[in-house]
Structure 1
Amino acid sequence: MDIAVLTFDGFNELDSFIASSILNRMKQYGWNVQITCPSGFVTSMNGVRIEAQQPLEFANRADAVLFGSGIFTRDIAKDQSILSRLSLDPNTQIIGAQCSGTLLLSALDLINDVPACTDLTTKPWVQEMGVEVLEQPFFAKGNVATSGGCLSSQYLAAWVIWKLSGRDHAEKAIHYVAPVGEKELTVEHCMSVLKNYI
């Protein structure tokens, strides 16, 4: 499986790195999880500069694509020089977005007439685009999902694993990263959030 974690300038480290780390628990099964960017290097909202593992076009052939959020996402959602490089198909790909990444799904016409989740700051901007915003951490319809809140990245990652490789693998991935003493509780809660969207 090829997995693209879309990461742009001003990105939120929690979105890209947590999702990437959880998804990489599937590396032993041949999963290829890549930080995917529109340029060779991007800098996070807190000044962390990283090198892209793949160019943006990698997302077009990936089995799953996750959009992270960031402080410049509202501008990126209007930037055709970036958006035109993406050609995603929810009929053949698993696609998810976190927080302000929901703006990009809307800009790419991937959540037409479907409610979505996002963070509190982004909520009015998503509503301006005509999307109903839900007061919950995760929602999916078919192969497209959205989540709200930095730590909701665990739901997106677990959803992708569950969709592509089954619940058992999703549970094991979340169990691995969950806090000691809270592992079973964390897995149970995560699965309860996702179970209606598989």
Structure 2
Amino acid sequence: MWDIVGRIQNDWQVKLLGSNKSHKSALGLEIEMQGHIREANQADAVLFISGKQGIPLALQDPDFINTFELDPNKQLLGSICAGSFILQRLGLLDCRAATTHPDAKTALQKTGAEVLDEPLVIRGNIATAGGCLSAMYLCAWLAERLLGEEKRREMLRELLPAGQQPQFEAIIDASLQSAAKAAIQTACQ
């Protein structure tokens, strides 16, 4: 998601936060952090990335979970794939439907979450995305909410395949509209 939201540099500050100075991806890429996760508590928006191996370890670490004091009334919060497990553990998906990577759906359901087979699920100021390519939808939601539709389009313009921009714009628009329409529903009534 860094490669997507980082394309807008003058309108917001994007930082990679972690519990260590660097973290290694599942494929071995060492990534330097730009701050500690406690900074997320003061951020306007927080997006949790996936991590098939890292998320289960983080969820077992009480220091990791207890660091967060996120407030969906004041912040935009989102996750991609297994990042939804963090939102669930923090109690932020209570009475909210969510999505995750298809391979993680059953495990997230076992935590009590209502999991939908959708690429993007928006409930208030919380959005979850399922599947790596749905990061584009999550980032589009964030940019549009904070900066407007024009900035969202500007951010995604360079990512869209040559000759297919109109088709991809239509898919992105439809995904955002579908998720926004469904957002009026709540899991607990």
Mapped pair 1:164 → 2:155: no
For 1:84-123, what aligned pairs fall within 5 Å after superposition?
84-123=66-105
| Cα-to-partner distance string for 1:16-65 (whole Å, 9 max, x where unaligned) | xxx11221222122x11011111001000000011101111111111110
| Cα-to-partner distance string for 1:75-126 (whole Å, 9 max, x where unaligned) | 3223211011111000010000111101000000111021110012211111
The runs of 5 or more residues in structure 2 that have no matched partner are 184-189
Identity of aligned residues (%): 32
Contact in 1 for aligned 2:97/2:123 (Cα 8 Å): no
**The residue matched to 1:130 in structure 2 has which SS?**
coil
TM-score (norm 1): 0.86
Structure 2 match to 1:145: 127
Structure 2 match to 1:155: 137
Contact in 1 for aligned 2:38/2:67 (Cα 8 Å): yes
Structure 1 match to 2:38: 57
**The residue matched to 1:111 in structure 2 has which SS?**
coil
Structure 1 match to 2:49: 68
Deviation at 1:179, TM superposition (A): 1.0
For residue 130 of structure 1, the aligned residue among 103, 112, 123 is 112
**The residue matched to 2:174 in structure 1 has which SS?**
helix
In structure 2, how many angstroms separate the alpha carbons of the residues matched to 1:120 and 1:72? 18
In structure 2, how many angstroms separate the alpha carbons of the residues matched to 1:191 and 1:169? 14
Deviation at 1:68, TM superposition (A): 0.4
The runs of 5 or more residues in structure 1 that have no matched partner are 1-18
Note the aligned Cα RMSD (angstroms): 1.3
TM-score (norm 2): 0.90
- More displaced 10-residue stretch of structure 1: 156-165 or 73-82: 73-82
Structure 2 match to 1:184: 166
In structure 1, how many angstroms separate the alpha carbons of the residues matched to 2:156 and 2:23? 28
In structure 2, how many angstroms separate the alpha carbons of the residues matched to 1:165 and 1:177? 18
In structure 2, how many angstroms separate the alpha carbons of the residues matched to 1:118 and 1:166? 26
